């Protein structure tokens, strides 16, 4: 999760934007373009649309609605997944003791190097690694607990 945290945060904001701005393709615009885009053949017609074109347009409207519903559903479920994962991760990090929380937070900051962290905390590279390892162990425990809860719900 730590490796993907920044990417997931970016994806969450993009997905949220897409959901807020979602309009889909206008069915009427699509039908109009299909109905009146061209004449059928070179023969003289008394009507501007054929039964075949109208039938295709009606079917396309249903397909377009279904496509828009599926796209919105995908965006919504992706957003909810990302939100839940990020919320849990942030909750788990906030549940760490202060030193471990600070180390993990700094590690998530791409501008923070280990050398800068060594100066900041007045510790060696080895101690940063130990703090990181201990913090990750605690995070793993929290994820294991969550997984057991989900498993108990699914199996229960």
Model confidence over 18-76: pLDDT tens digits?
999 998 877 777 667 666 655 555 555 555 556 777 777 777 778 888 888 999 999 99
Q: Are 26 and 101 found together in one domain?
A: no
Write out the residue range of the structural domain in which residue 65 sits: 1-37+47-83
Q: Are 107 and 53 found together in one domain?
A: no
| In contact, 117 and 103? CB cutoff 8 Å | yes
Q: Is residue 90 part of a domain?
A: no
Q: Are 24 and 58 found together in one domain?
A: yes
Q: Are 100 and 74 found together in one domain?
A: no
For residue 11, count other CB atoms closer than 10 A to its CB: 15
| In contact, 39 and 102? CB cutoff 8 Å | no
Alpha-carbon distance 156 to 150, whole Å? 10
| In contact, 100 and 131? CB cutoff 8 Å | yes
**Number of structural domains in the chain:** 2
- The whole-chain average pLDDT of the chain stands at 87
Alpha-carbon distance 93 to 155, whole Å? 28
Q: Are 65 and 114 found together in one domain?
A: no
């Amino acid at each position: 999760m730590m490796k993907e945290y920044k990417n997931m945060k970016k994806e969450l904001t993009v997905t949220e934007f897409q959901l807020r701005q979602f309009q889909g393709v206008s069915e009427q615009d699509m039908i109009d373009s299909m109905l009146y885009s061209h004449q059928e053949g070179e023969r003289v017609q008394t009507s501007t649309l054929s039964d075949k074109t109208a039938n295709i347009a009606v079917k396309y409207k249903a397909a377009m609605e279904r496509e828009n519903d599926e796209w919105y559903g995908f965006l919504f479920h992706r957003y909810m997944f990302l939100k839940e994962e990020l919320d849990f991760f942030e909750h788990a990090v906030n549940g760490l003791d202060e030193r471990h929380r600070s180390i993990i937070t700094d590690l998530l900051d791409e501008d923070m190097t280990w050398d800068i962290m060594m100066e900041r905390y007045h510790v060696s590279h080895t101690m940063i690694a130990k703090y990181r390892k201990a913090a990750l162990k605690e995070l793993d425990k929290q994820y294991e607990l969550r997984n057991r809860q989900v498993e108990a719900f699914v199996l229960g």
